[in-house]
Every structure is written in C-alpha cells, then in structure tokens.
Structure 1
Amino acid sequence: MFLVPGYLWQYSFEYLYQGEVPVHLVHTAMPEFAHQIEAALTTSQSLSEVKVVDWSNDVIWAGDEDQRLAVLFDKYGLSVGAEHYTDFQIRNYTEISLDRPWTLYEFLDPLTVNYDGGIALTGLAAGQGREQQSSQSPLDMKEGSPFWLALQWQTAPQLGTDFAISLRLHNDEGSGVLQKDYVLWRPDHSSTGEGEQSEPFDSLHLIEFPADLPFGAYELRIVVYDTESLKPTVELGVWEAETTIAHLQYSDSH
C-alpha cells in the first residue's frame, strides 16, 4: 500500500496514477489523523508493506507531514529503508502493528516554559519505537533506533512571528553532541506567525542518534528562535535562551 501526503491535488494524482497497488492520500490536518491512517491500513487485505511518499519541498509543500508520518510509523512499523528519486523519496515499512489503537502519543508530561516572544511550551511526550516513556525521569534510550518527541505549543493570537526550534543533546560534561533544527508548523501547514490562531498544537520529531555516540547520560535542551532574525526568545523569569526539557540515558541495545 502507498500512503501519499498532499490531498489538495488528489484529483490530479488519481487521474495520472495507473498502478494496481492501493493508494491512500493523507493529510495530517485530518481529524484523528493517526486513527485515520490505522483505519486505511485495516481495510487492506494481506498488508505486508507500506510505502510512504515523502515529497521534496519544491514539488509539494507539506510542512512537517514527513516528521508526523515518520513518528507514527516508527511506533507501529519497522523501517526497512528508503528509495530516493529526483523529486521525492519512498520510505518503506513492514511488520505493521494493528493490535492496538494508533495514536501519536499516549500522554503528555506537562511543561511550563513561557517565552518573551509570545509562545509557550506546555507539554512533552517522548519514546522509542512503540513504547512511550515519562520524561519525569531519565528516558531510557537504546542504540540502533531513533527516538521520537512530541512537543505541545501555544501562541498568543496575532503573534506575527514565525518560530523555529533547535533541539540539542549535551553530554554530562556540557558539550553539545547533536543539534537538530525545525521550523514550527501547525498541522494545517500554517506557521506560528500566521492568522489569529491561539489553540495548542503539537510538533513531532524523529531524531537519529549519531552512530558514534558514546553510552552515558545526556541532557536534551531546546532553543526557540525567530526564523527571520535568528534571534532566540528567552524564558520569562529565567532570561535564558536554552532550556533543559529532558534527561536521557543512552545504552547498549542488549
């Protein structure tokens, strides 16, 4: 089965596609997105592999749909590599689990990080594979698999500023060993500065550990910054740009 993000051009796709493999067009702004994907897979007979199309941004702009789908299938499937083409890649998954309801996360650990730029980080969910872990204690992470992270945000209405985040992993000596930056997008592909929206929204991230990362204790820190000026916003009352949001214990998979 193929899952193809980009429902806005579905009629063009349905006109052009001549293959026999079942295709479902998806959009992460759909209500109950994870359950909709699960339902589509459940209707397929003899499901052995799912191929998720990941478009390059200059072909179809899809916000962070690639990250949302990657997190979902990391939880309920097994990644078996990707096929790379000029304008897209196809991510392949097998061993699809349909024995429990699909959800992006089971619970949110509350956070209260209010920034002077008019945005707040209000919750965190994290895990590896199918298992979510509480961030109230160090996250037990094993080598060989990425970990997923869901962050819940709330913005002031008419914010007018587009924000990005920098996720940074530091060892117990305080040295940075990994940094990943992401622009924040709502599920409807709008940025934080667009419109008058103020309802909470989630950002989803699937993060690979470096192959040579030593085992040990780490801190996961975050910086929120303006995408235009690159100036960070700081936490109110603390007046620091970098905030620790979780601790990790990275160890052998055996």
Structure 2
Amino acid sequence: MTDIVAAPPLTRIPVRGADIADGTFFPVRRVYCVGRNFAEHAREMGAAVPTSAADRGRPVFFLKPHDAIELGEDVPYPPGTDDLHHEVELVVAIGRDAPPGELAPADAPGLIYGYAVGLDLTRRDLQTQAKAKGLPWDIGKAFDHAAPISAIVPAADVGELGARALTLEVNGELRQRGSLDDLVWNVEEILHELSRLYALRAGDLVYMGTPSGVGPLQPGDRYRATLEGVAELHGRITPARA
C-alpha cells in the first residue's frame, strides 16, 4: 500500500497521574463540544435559559478537528477575525468504546478515562455573523489551535467531580468562574445524549461547555485556566502568523 501524501501525525495529549511515568499519552480520535451548558453563559449569548430539567430540550453539540488541539503555551491569534474569545471548560477523556446503541447515564462513568481543563477558543465575530444568517458556525469554532488543553488526569486520581470550580484568569485578572454543579447537562447525561447521535470511542474528548464571563483575547495576553484540584493550563496569545 502506498500513501499519496504523508499520513498526518496522531494528536496525543500527555497524561499525568500518581502512578504514571512521564511519556504516557492519550491519543485523540474525535473532539466533541457542548454549547450553552451553563445557564448564565446561555443568557449572556442571548439564548433561552432553561428553568427546569423538563425545559432543557436537547443539548447543543458541535465538533472541532482533532488537530485543533493545542499543547504548547504559545497560541497564535487566528486569521479572519478581530474578536477572538476565551471559553474555559472541563474536558472529559473517553478511555473505552461505548457498547452499541444508546448508553444509559448510569453506565457512562465506566467509559471515562480522565479529565482536563481546556479552552474552546472562538472567532466570535464569525460565529455571530453565521448565526444571524441561520448558517452553520463551524468557522467560528473549528480552526487551527482552537482547543488548548492541559495534561489529562486519570479519573481514578480525581474521584468525584462534585462542585469543583472552573476558572480563567487573563493577565492576572479573573474573567470566568463557575461551578460544575451548575452544568445544565452533567457528564453522564452528555455522554448519554452523544451516544444517541454518534458511536463513542476510546480517544474521544468532550469539551463540556463554559460558564459566563467569556470575553476577548489579544496578542500578548497571558491566561491561566484551572479545574479546581485537578489541572491547570497556562499560555499566551501570540501575534498572528504570517
């Protein structure tokens, strides 16, 4: 068999754990993202906010390419936008294939390998323009370097997520803070809903949605994202690449 072009490298994320040696990695298959999964963020985006579990409807999903994962500290400002926004998120790493068919929420924890903190970087102007025209807004979400992420920490080392805080500081100023118990759809429910649409596989990542406080990033800005007691992510926005 002969490849016409060189096969692209597999995206791999470092794994950090109590009993894990350096050089252990999580290979990425697919990157799912959840929109409007914190009520206050939905409100600041002008979307309807559910008032009860029965009022939630269905989750909003979109995807990013696996090579949008960014592991370095230097994140180049993307082309085509004047309004790059930060969205700090819990990231769930899937370590086992889901069984065929619909996954019961009670069975979802058995698929989870670990957790990380990440940023869903967004070209907000392009997203807003597409939404206003009723068009898909992939170009606002799926671009190079659009998914910075920390090392993954095994779920066995984390325990219950509970009400852990998600935070984001930019240049030392707190921009975002939210509690995981404020998720509209929790992790188990999201994996259940994804299983109704896709075949979940080992290597999948799920960006779980962002709390309120999203805002712009500029070249030169430094950020620090944290998932309380689990993971940290540090980086800076560099000028657009020529």
- Pairwise TM-score range, normalised by the shorter structure: 0.3 to 0.5
Larger relative contact order (C-alpha < 8 A, sep ≥ 6)?
2
Higher helix share: 2
TM-score normalised by length of structure 2: 0.34
Task: Pick the structure with greater CA Rg.
Answer: 1
TM-score, normalising length from structure 1? 0.33
Higher percent of residues as strand: 1
